[in-house]
Structures are given as C-alpha cells and as structure tokens.
Amino acid sequence: MGVKNIVYNLMINFEDIINHQIELLRYAGKNSDTFTVITTLKKPYSKRPPNFIHDKIMMELSPYMVDYIVGIKEWPGTYRSGGSHTVMLTYRLCKNSRYLLEKLENWYLPLKNGLPEDICFYRKQRPWFGSVSHEKMAFMWNATESDLTNLENLSIKFSIQNK
C-alpha cells in the first residue's frame, strides 16, 4: 500500500503573519502558481479595461495580470452580498512578480499601506494560503507537512482545523 499524504486546513495567527510577511511572501511565491487581490472599480465604471482604485500601486505588476473579475461577491474566506464594483485581480507568480510583491509594503496591512486587500495564493489553481485582512484572519488550505514545518521554523503560530 502507498503512503498517503496528509493535508491540513489551518488558521494562522495574523500578528505572526504581519511580523514575518517577507519570509511568507517568499515561501508562498515559490510554492504557488498565482495570487489574487481584491480592489474596487473607480469611475468611469464603463472603461475597458477597467480602472481600479489601486492602479498606480499595481502598475508594476500589470505585466503579470492574467485575469480580473468585476462584480465578484465571493472569494477565499469572504462572501459579500452587494458590491458590483468589487474586483478580483489574478496574477501569475514568477521571479519578477515575487520581487515586486516583496518590494511593496506589508500586504497583510493593506488599509494602512494603500494596497488591495485579501491576498490569496493558489497552488494548482486552488486557494492555498489566504487572508481576510480587515478581519485579521489568515488560512492555509491543504497544507502539507512541508508547509507546517516552514510555519514552525518561522515561529508562526497556527491551529489545525481538520483533526
């Protein structure tokens, strides 16, 4: 019989993420295919491609944008009943986009730093490491033993939700 890989769903201490955001961005960037952030449309709403309130900040990442969804109501960790101006931006991860992510201020304090909210990293097109920044919540879905070891090595506290 083969060895079964055990995966875990985790709640991660948000303060620890804030304090170790560069190390986590590096790890997530090397272990993910894409990432998403949430922003808002700005007027004129009918412009295509649309204008976003974070356009200037996100300009350097624009070569790596692979998709955007206008009017999104649900994304990893969040459901919103209204908000037709909410936009989810999807970017591919590579050496250059990882560098740009690390260069910007702390992604886990987006309101303080004028960044889009709720950064989420995807592994094999599935949400893997996400946050709901205004709620100060962070999750890791389908975390591997390697992911747990990395969090432990960084002294980031977490609780396993699927034991």
Q: How crowded is residue 143: how many other Cβ atoms within 10 Å of its Cβ?
A: 23
Q: How crowded is residue 62: how many other Cβ atoms within 10 Å of its Cβ?
A: 11
Q: How crowded is residue 104: how many other Cβ atoms within 10 Å of its Cβ?
A: 16
Structural domain boundaries of the chain?
A: 8-160
Q: Which residue has the tokens 């002294």?
A: 155
pLDDT digits (tens, 9 = 90+) for 19-75: 999 999 999 999 999 999 999 988 877 777 778 888 888 888 999 999 998 888 878
Q: Are the C-beta atoms of 93 and 112 separated by less than 8 Å?
A: no
- Banded model confidence at residue 163, pLDDT cuts 50, 70, 90: low
- C-alpha 53/C-alpha 104 separation (Å) is 16
What pLDDT was estimated at residue 81?
63
- C-alpha 88/C-alpha 110 separation (Å) is 15
CA 132 from chain centre, in angstroms, equals 9
Q: Report yes or no on whether pTM surpasses 0.75.
A: yes
φ, ψ (nearest 5 deg) of residue 29: -65, -35
